[in-house]
Every structure is written in structure tokens, then in C-alpha cells.
Amino acid sequence: MNLQQVKQRFEIIGNSPQLNRALEVAIQVAPTDISVLVTGESGTGKEIIPQVIHNLSARKHKQYIAVNCGAIPEGTIDSELFGHEKGSFTGAVGSRQGYFEVADGGTIFLDEVAELPMQTQVRLLRVLETGEFMRVGSSKMIKTNVRVVAATNENMQKAVASGKFREDLYYRLSTVPISLPPLRDRGDDIHLLFRKFASDFSEKYRMPTVRLTNEAISLVNHYQWPGNIRQLRNVVEQISIIETERELDAVTLQQYLPTIQPKSTMLATAEGQDSINERELMYKFLFDMKRDLTELKKLVVEIINKGDKFAVTGDQVELINRLYADIETPILEPTKLIAPVSSEVIIPQDNQIQPTVLEDTFEAHEVVEESLSLEDQEKELIRKALDKHRGRRKNAAQELGISERTLYRKIKEYDITE
């Protein structure tokens, strides 16, 4: 079965290269018994890959069981997977077969596999290596022939490094890794999926199909979709039910998309959302600092070029004092050293600097490195945002482009009083 046939059979929408590559690998490994680990963000449709693998394999006529490891309590997950004997624990009124016993000859899909407790990971590793397991409360070894396909939205290397997941089990599960791309990286697939969902809900609710204007299409293509396909489907369903107009413009659509963030402004990183926001804050500060330094350079050049006469404006005084904000006494005071814009500060022709103005400037220059440290500027930026929004942390976090959690941590770390 080729790629297009698989897409038609499993109703897979899209033609992005990353999606096609994931499906091609699934088609290739399906006839084998190799363990597969599917990775990708939540909502990307990871559950479709094990279905493709099972239905294209020789096991397709046997059991296919999907298990959400994160939804089963830690105390009962061993019983669910491997079964138990009567009286093995409180409430075990009879013997029970586990999923690995029921699915003998078939396929088990372990979703959210990173949530498995450590003792269950040990049991699972033994099944993968020897095909043997024991029921809870039993000493009898049971053989099973089950193919395991696992999936997770976590960074497994980090889980292994932190001791949350066994390294040997990770390598045993990920004999063939398959990665599904997030929706924001699938380009024109987003609008194709929108149209598919709109058609489905039109039929379900017996109403005309919703359509998008060109501006709205551009909006859905550039929105980040943190919830991926699941979020897109929910948005289309809301629109299909609530909106009376069947053609949506960008303004109407934006009401259904919280916190619009164009793709071009996002910084992709494997360190998590907090790291992304911290880096954005750093870049924002650096760009502001670069702009201020550029203005300061222009000011110095203007002083040199104008020779004996130079007038300092109020905006220039504000720029200089902002750059030296950590010094208790301002470098320049408009009421004492700087006359109004029409007044002048006289600089001698021989370029000898007057002590009343520029000696202080040189003294301040000695502490530029300290006052321009990233930590000091970050603290100052946070203080300004809190002052601007009168201590409302949620609004200050939005102003800074960071999460509230990150802002709380920074306030505590820098001991900022509000």
C-alpha cells in the first residue's frame, strides 16, 4: 500500500514533508515486529501511527489495544497491563487477564509511556526482551507475543537524564523513532484540515459549511496552535455552531484564537516554554540597549562635529540618565547643567573638557559595564512593567512577553518589592 492509499484509508489530511516522512517510515516498519516510539507534541495525532502499523502488519486480524498510561493509577497499572491472581491485593476477588495476555499475537499501543512508574518499566522491559511476564501475585511465567508501539509528548532524553525513565527501556522502545510535526510547522495543511473539519461539522449539525476569507486563511496559517490538531478541531466546531455568518473574516476568527503569536516571532527551543520566554525577554532588552547606545553614539559624534557650541536637548538628557540609571545622582540635571533647547553648553575649541560637565561623565563611564549588566537591566525592566501596571503581575507579564510563573520566579529571585 502506497502513501496516498494509506492517507485515504485512515483519513489523514496533509502533504507536509515531515508528515509524509513519518507515514513512510510507519509503512516500512509495519511488516516487521520492531518496537516503535512515536514522539510529538500533544494533539498532533500520534495515535494514528500505531493504527497504521497494526493494520498494515501480519497482526491485523489479532487484538489491537490502546492504553493511556497516564490515565491509570500507579497502584493498578501493573494489574491492568499484566493481570493479577485472586487475593493478590485488596479487592482482587478473582483472577484477571492483563492487556499483554489478551493482546497475544496482536499490538499494544502505550500512549504517554513516560508516565509509567519505575517498577512497571522493569516489567515492561522484561516483556520486550524475553516475551515473558508474571501476573501480580503469581509466580507462574506467562509467554506472550505482542508488538509494542509507544508514544509520548515528553523529551525522553531529559526524562532519562532526570531518572524518571529507564535508559535501557528507552532504547528498547525506540528501535525505530517516528516524530510527528506540530501543526504550526505544516504550512498549507492547516487550511486543508480546517476545511475538512468544517465539512464534517456541517454534516453533523446540518448547516452550511463555514469558509474563510483570504485574511482569515493567512491568520490560521500563522497562528501557533499550541493545542495542535485537537485545538483546530475544537475551534472549527465552535465556529460552526456559534457563528451565523458562514464566511469568516480575520477579525471574527481572531476571537476564537487566544494569544495570537505570529510564527515569525516565536523562538523554537527544546528547553521548554520558560526558556523561550526568558530568551525573548533578553532579546527585547538587548535590542532596547542597542537602540540607546546608537543614540548615544550619535550624540557624541554631534558634540565632536559642532566644535565650540553644542545644545543638549531634554530627550538627550533623559537618554543619558537612563543609561546610567544605577547611579543615585543623575549624570545631568536639566535645571543646573542643561539649559532649555535654545540654550547652549559651551565646549572649548581645544577640546579640553569642562569639569562641571564631562569629568562627571568620565567618572560615570567607568561603571558602564556594571550598569549595563543583563541582570540589572532585566530587574529594571521588570520594575518598570510592575510600576506601569500598578503591581498587576498578569498585565506586567503580558507587557514583558513572559508567563506569569516566570515573572513570579524573577520577582522572588531578584527580591523585587512591589
Architecture in CATH of 184-264: Orthogonal Bundle (1.10)
**Domain covering 3-181 assigned CATH 3.90.10.10 in the classification:** no
Residue 174's beta-bridge partner residues? none
Handedness of CA 322, 325, 327, 329 (dihedral sign): positive
pLDDT at 360: 45
Q: How many whole angstroms separate alpha carbon 329 and alpha carbon 327?
A: 6
Residue 384 has, within 13 A of its CA and on its CB side, a CA count of 11
Per-residue pLDDT 10s for the chain (418 aa) are 789 999 999 999 999 999 999 999 999 999 999 999 999 999 999 999 999 999 999 999 999 999 999 999 888 899 999 999 988 887 788 888 999 999 999 999 999 999 999 999 999 999 999 999 999 988 899 999 999 999 999 999 999 999 999 999 999 999 999 999 999 999 999 999 999 999 999 999 999 999 999 999 999 999 999 999 999 999 999 999 999 899 999 999 999 998 644 444 444 444 445 544 565 666 566 767 767 777 777 777 667 666 555 565 666 666 666 655 544 444 444 444 444 444 444 444 444 444 444 444 444 444 444 455 667 778 888 888 888 888 888 888 888 888 887 887 788 787 887 6
Backbone angles phi, psi at 306, to 5 degrees: -85, -10
pLDDT at 92: 80
| CATH 1.10.8.60 residue ranges for the chain | 184-264
Do 374 and 277 contact (CB within 8 A), yes or no? Answer: no
Rounded Cα–Cα distance for residues 223 and 209 (Å): 22
| Residue 213 DSSP symbol | -
Model pLDDT, residue 65: 96
Residue 288: what are its φ and ψ, rounded to 5°? -65, -40
- Read off the pLDDT of residues 37-67 as tens digits, 9 standing for 90 and up: 999 999 999 999 999 999 999 999 999 999 9
Q: Cα-atom radius of gyration of the chain, to the nearest Å?
A: 31
Under 8 Å between Cβ of 14 and 127:
no
Q: Enumerate the CATH 3.40.50.300 domain ranges in the chain, comma separated.
A: 3-181
Beta bridge partners of 310: 345
Give pLDDT, residue 317: 63
For the chain, percent helix, then strand, then coil, each to nearest 5? Answer: 50, 10, 40
- DSSP letter for each residue of 149-162: EEEESS-HHHHHHT
